[in-house]
A and B are shown apart, each in its own frame.
Chain A
Amino acid sequence: MRNKDEYIFECEGIYKAFGGTQALADVQLHVKKGEVIALLGENGAGKSTLMKAVIGLHQPDAGTMTFEGKPYSAKGPVDAMKAGISMIHQELNPEPYLTIAESIFLNREDVHGGIFLDKKKQNQRAQEILDQFGFGYPATTVMGKLSLAQMQMVEIIKAVSCDARMIIMDEPTSSLDSEETEHLFATIRDLKSKGVAIIYISHRMDEIFEICDSVAVFRDGTYVGARSMEGVTRDELISMMVGRQVKNVFPKTDCEIGDVVFKVEGLTGKGFEDISFEVRAGEILGLTGLVGSGRSETMRAIFGLDPLEKGKMWLNGEEITIKNPRDAIKKGVCMVNEDRKNYGLCLFRSIRENISLPNLPAKQPGLLLNQSREKKECAEYAKLLTVKAGSIEHNAFSLSGGNQQKVVIAKWIMAGPKVLILDEPTRGVDVGAKSEIHTLMCQFAAKGMAVIMISSELPEVMGMSDRILVYHEGKLNGEVSREEVLSGAATQEVILAKEFGGK
């Protein structure tokens, strides 16, 4: 029998669905008083969704939660904070013009006679708390002057000052340097000794080994299991995270791989460093890595959406420079962005207008648009991509996610690319459309296109790629060939270990 009192927070049977996707299914979590528990899992395993359910940003569809022995539920972060649970988000959104004291006491200001703010008392109280933590700034400093690490510390101090008995930290070290990380860890140990429980979400294995007492592993929105960190190895954790079988559900066809079409050397920019690779005609090159590991950042820079600091690119043996997407399209480098709503479509314009947008300079050289030809051509490409719509005059908004994605791909195929970059081509797409998109990718490769596909879904990367490059913290960390995948030498464990920085 487990001793119930040992646990400060427990939840069981948590379900949460968004539209048709089950984000959490029968998930549980047990957190002991004064422990640091790591949540581990691939992108999309359900860690953040569960934590958002705990602080009330999402309402679970089913399940029970108890906090300090009592049934618990929160309508929102303020509710959760009142109960004693705080979350430090990965992306901090401080009000840059508030002082540290105002920030700490936001929504619970000291007031005289119920109306006027008592700034003096508030600053004094804030200073006392700051001093306890050895925070070297006066409470009247404005937030905008602090570094990210310091703002994060203020958030933690705020949580503690609200008497939080459980603090959730989502990737707290993602923007800290090693010294700041050490300082954070010292704070975490201090909190732990005071009996505060910490839920620690991180992709960095080393940190988890250093700071955490136990670990709970998630996979595809389900709970795999929990165990103490004592005696566990990196490989054991990784195999808990994977477990999924790569079934041969991918329509990958082998086609003849030709000459090198596109080559990059030493690409460096924001979020990636010294990236070199080449991709051949007929080849599907898979890029994988954790979110934020620099995959999308590299591709955005190649396509001219973000600036490139250093590096060279060659297309068909000729060195090229790309300043903006227009350059890229003209040269034959096209990119299906992962963010379909922001970078893919004008949702309130017709399918026809969306497909022809990047192709007008090439296909419509005249002063006036030849609309009947435009209609014919767009209809042709919509049909090639099996877009299901009543008419190509309908708004993109009226389509399902899968069909919207096909419209985005159609517009780039119409551009006749030599290099086609697909960033998460099947995200938010139903199973049927997913398989259709995979088939189409193989067809494009067979026509001699060089295809680069980014995906966070390991089975997809392994099932579709001729070659896989793995990113780890902005750098390439290994390459896996299709032969290695097919022979079983490169398993999901092997690739995931590389994503986490292993060899």
Chain B
Amino acid sequence: MAQKKEGKILGMERETFRQFMGKYGVSVVMVVMIIAIAVYNPRFISGANLVNVITQISINGMLAFGMCLCITIGGIDLTVGAQLALVGVIMGQTITNAGMPIVVGILIGVGVATLFGFINGFFIAKFNMFPFVVTLSMQLVIRGAAQVISGGKAITFGQAVKNMYYGKFLGIPYPVLVLLVVFVLMYIMFHWTKLGRYILAVGGNANAAVASGVSEFKIRVICHTLSGFLAGIGAVIMAAKTGSGQSNLGVGYETDAVAASVIGGTSFAGGIATMPGVLIGIFIVGFIYNGINMIGIDANWQSIIRGLVIIGTVMLDMAINGKSRK
């Protein structure tokens, strides 16, 4: 392999520049997007609207952080949408129907989601099955379980549960706080601990990671378990937001989670990801939804625009970063 060509860009060495853009390139996209939408409708950058957007993206935020881990190790987690439904109906059965304390209902719901995450990871790591196939099938099982548990009926929640979405602490909505806390914890785990290093190593080159003493099995199971746990947290926010548990909630949510991860620089080839990148990806996906309303585009066009913006962002990022991303 030949040494990269010498030369400087903006006073930085080429390789340093490439890594700088790899880290921060996507934030340029976000800033351009904010300016563009704000030019159309200045109300977009009002404090009230931004808080509103961030509250809304907190659900996808939980899913995307988990998804990012699974994509980083070279896999995917397609169960997250179904997890939203399952945890919701479990909370409905325990809190509304059985009259259990809210905390107990949440613990059971999140616990079950975590368990399903573990099962995904176990199948993938133990039997060397394709993550796509395992999570595609498990997604059916999980949504089916939600149907069985709810009997196909929506279970409504009382005000106490809804307050978890609309309530505020020091003027900040609870979901925003949850997003912030989860982001900080994920950042620390991913960038400051051995576990984060091992996840990146297994994703980058599983053979080399094993030959360096990393347990591939453990890392894969941990990533999917965490994804399940985070989907559980997202489901609690979802339950509070919608005020009901239904087995048909959360359909297609995995798409936005994958989009946020990928826009945020997570490579499908594995081994490349950053948590700030994913956070920005989560914001960009949220801005697309909100921006379409702000600009006043017919809602029927939403899906097409979302798809095109995702492809455009990733292509732009690739152009900036050169071939570093596959």
Contact = CB atoms under 8 A, between A and B. Distances in A.
B205 A342 contact: yes
Interface stretch (A29-37, A393-401, A438-446): A393-401
Nearest to B13: A390
B209 A368 contact: no
A123 B168 CA distance: 76
Contacts of A399: 1, 3
A349 B213 contact: no
B197 A398 contact: no
B200 A349 contact: yes
Interface string A304-331: 0100000000000000000011101110
Interface stretch (B118-126, B157-165, B188-196, B237-245): B188-196
A291 interface: no
B214 interface: yes
A357 B324 contact: no
B197 A353 contact: yes
A357 B15 contact: no
B326 to A, nearest CB: 9
A358 B198 CA distance: 10
A346 B205 contact: yes
Contacts of B212: 325, 329, 357-358, 411
Nearest to B202: A346
A345 interface: yes
Contact of A369 (B15, B193, B207, B267): B193
B208 A346 contact: yes
Interface in A397-445: 397-401, 404, 411
B304 interface: no
B188 A368 contact: yes
Contacts of B214: 326, 357
B47 to A, nearest CB: 34
Nearest to A403: B3
Interface string A250-270: 000000000000000000000
B211 A325 contact: yes
Contacts of A345: 205, 208
Contacts of B192: 368-369, 371
A97 interface: no
Interface string A326-357: 10111000010100001111111100010011
A364 interface: yes
B78 to A, nearest CB: 25
A364 B204 CA distance: 21
B208 A360 contact: no
Contact of A305 (B2, B193, B194, B211): B211
A237 to B, nearest CB: 37
Nearest to B325: A348
Contacts of B3: 398-400
Contact of A349 (B188, B194, B201): B201
Contact of A342 (B1, B197, B207): B207
Chain B's interface size range is: 20 to 34
A95 to B, nearest CB: 20
Nearest to B267: A348
Given A344-B208, A353-B200, A398 B4 contact: yes
B212 to A, nearest CB: 4
A353 B194 CA distance: 11
A367 interface: yes
Contacts of B198: 360
Interface in A366-399: 367-369, 371, 390-391, 393-395, 397-399
B213 A326 contact: yes
B305 interface: no
A79 B197 CA distance: 48
Contacts of B57: none
Given A360-B194, A398-B4, A347 B13 contact: no
B1 A401 contact: yes
Contacts of B207: 342-343
A400 B2 contact: yes
A411 B267 CA distance: 25
B234 interface: no
A361 interface: yes
A383 to B, nearest CB: 18
B201 A357 contact: yes
B205 A357 contact: no
B213 A358 contact: yes
Given A345-B208, A390-B15, A400-B2, A326 B215 contact: yes
B210 interface: yes
Interface in B13-28: 13, 15-16, 19
B264 to A, nearest CB: 16
A303 B324 CA distance: 32
A480 to B, nearest CB: 30
Interface string A174-190: 00000000000000000
Given A342-B208, A346-B204, A346-B205, A398 B193 contact: no
Given A360-B197, A390-B16, A393-B19, A343 B211 contact: yes
B271 interface: yes
B87 interface: no
Nearest to B326: A348
Given A361-B194, A369-B192, A401-B1, A346 B201 contact: yes
Contacts of A369: 192-194, 197
Contacts of A326: 213-215
Contact of A348 (B194, B215, B324): B324
17 contacts: A305-B211, A324-B213, A324-B215, A325-B210, A325-B212, A326-B214, A329-B213, A343-B208, A347-B204, A353-B197, A361-B213, A364-B194, A369-B197, A394-B15, A394-B16, A397-B1, A401-B1
Interface of A: 19, 303, 305, 324-326, 328-330, 335, 337, 342-349, 353, 356-358, 360-361, 364, 367-369, 371, 390-391, 393-395, 397-401, 404, 411
Given A346-B208, A394-B15, 7 more contacts: A324-B210, A335-B211, A337-B211, A346-B205, A347-B205, A394-B16, A395-B15
* 7 interchain residue pairs of minimum CB distance: A346-B204, A326-B213, A358-B212, A357-B212, A346-B205, A329-B213, A343-B211
